[in-house]
Every structure is written in C-alpha cells, then in structure tokens.
Amino acid sequence: MIAETANYLSIVDQMPADTVVIFHNSTWEDYEELLAHVGEASGLHVSFNDGTLKVMTVSSGHEKYVRFIDSLISSLRLRLRINILSHGSATMKRKANKGNEPDASFYVQSAAAIGNRIDVDPAVDPPDVVVEVDIHHDSRDNYPIYAAFGVPEIWRYDGHEMTILQLQRDGYVSAETSRALPMLTSGVLTEYLRRMTEEGEFKAIIAFDEWLQSLPR
C-alpha cells in the first residue's frame, strides 16, 4: 500500500455521515486499495473516474429512501408479474479508469438474459436502471461513469422530485416516462416518495399497490 493511500484510509475512517471527500490525481491502485479496506461497509460509496476518487458517506435517512424505492419495485414486480431483478448497490468497475456504486440497480429488459445467475458483473452486464438518492449529495458527476458502462436509465431523487434520465448519444437527458417500466413516470415516483414522508412507508406502499391494481391490463 502506498503512503498516499494510507492517508486516504485515515481520512475515510473518520468521515461522518452525509459527507463527501474528493481526492484528485489518484490511481487505480488507490481505488482498489480503498475498496479492499472498506469491504462491504454499509453507508459508504466509492467512485473513481479517470483519476478522481470520490468517497461518500450516507445516513440512515438516505438509506430509508433507497429501501422504499426498492419496496416500490418489489410491489410492482409482484402485482404486475414483471420479471425484475434487484442488484442493490453492487460495484461496477472497469480496470484502470472507472468505477462506481449506485444506491440501487435493477435489471428489467435484460432480466431474462441474466436469468438465475448469482454472480453478475454489472460492468459486463450493466443494469437497466440505476438509482441515485441525492438528499445531501450530488451524484451528477457520476453520470459519465454510467454512460461509459452503457447504463440506459438513471433515476435521481433529490428529496423533492424524482428525475428520470435516459442515455442518448450526447449523454443523459430528462424523460417523463421510464423506458424500462413505462407505467412509471417522474410524477408517479415523486408522489409516492412524498407520501412515504407524509403518511409513512406502510400506507404509501398500500396506496401504490392500489394504484397498480387500477392500471388497465
């Protein structure tokens, strides 16, 4: 382990929740060493983009939103009988220049191709949707990483609104409706995230399930 990486580890070990530290002129070896050091530590996300190493710590409030979004997708999967595979915040990385951990990720259009494989490399088989919850941070500098891996769709929630972004030739552009799950719009996702904060998770999930049942078949 090089001396500079040791400094990274010391700083990261003392980071409070909801903070971001960015190291410039970092190496791929620094990134790999840091990933090995933190392991599967919850509440910590690490990204690397062409020499820029970013470490983000998240709070329990941040994770509450992530779990709720995952609950919405689980409810939709069961109610509408859609094959959706949840892949959590699995690290996607391409040796030497790019790596990132989304807050959540889902295989929808490509779920059948993934099948029942346990070990899926999201850098080789990118998820159809990644989720970024930006309550206290801004993940938009990670978009070029997702574009490099060919992730078709990003859902970004900033605490007020869910924005759906779809990959085009020149990068990600906003869209009202999800391409992966066309019954979901920015407005629908925003509404039920708002209801979660106002009414609680259980009532919001029940309301979402009732809405799903009202959709034309």
In this structure, what CATH number is given to the domain that contains residue 120? 3.90.1570.20
With contact defined as beta carbons under 8 Å apart, do 15 and 38 qualify? Answer: no
Residues 26, 105 share a domain:
no
pLDDT band at 34 (very low <50, low <70, confident <90, very high): confident
Residues 156, 85 share a domain:
yes
Looking at the predicted structure, is the pLDDT value of residue 119 above 80? Answer: yes
Residues 80, 180 share a domain:
yes
Residues 49, 64 share a domain:
no
Residues 118, 32 share a domain:
no
With contact defined as beta carbons under 8 Å apart, do 76 and 212 qualify? Answer: yes
Across the chain, mean pLDDT equals 90
Domain of 48, in residue numbers: 1-57
- To the nearest whole percent, how much of the chain has pLDDT over 90? 62
Residues 103, 15 share a domain:
no
Residues 202, 149 share a domain:
yes
Q: Measured between alpha carbons, how far is 194 from 133 in angstroms, rounded to an integer?
A: 14
Looking at the predicted structure, is the pLDDT value of residue 137 above 90? Answer: no
Residue 5 confidence (pLDDT): 54
Residues 9, 101 share a domain:
no
Choose one of 12, 29, 57: the last residue of a domain: 57
Residues 67, 15 share a domain:
no
Give the count of domains, the chain.
2
Residues 196, 116 share a domain:
yes
Q: Measured between alpha carbons, how far is 135 from 144 in angstroms, rounded to an integer?
A: 20
Residues 48, 128 share a domain:
no
Q: Measured between alpha carbons, how far is 66 from 79 in angstroms, rounded to an integer?
A: 20
Amino acid (1-letter code) at residue 167: L
Residues 33, 74 share a domain:
no
pTM for this entry? 0.90
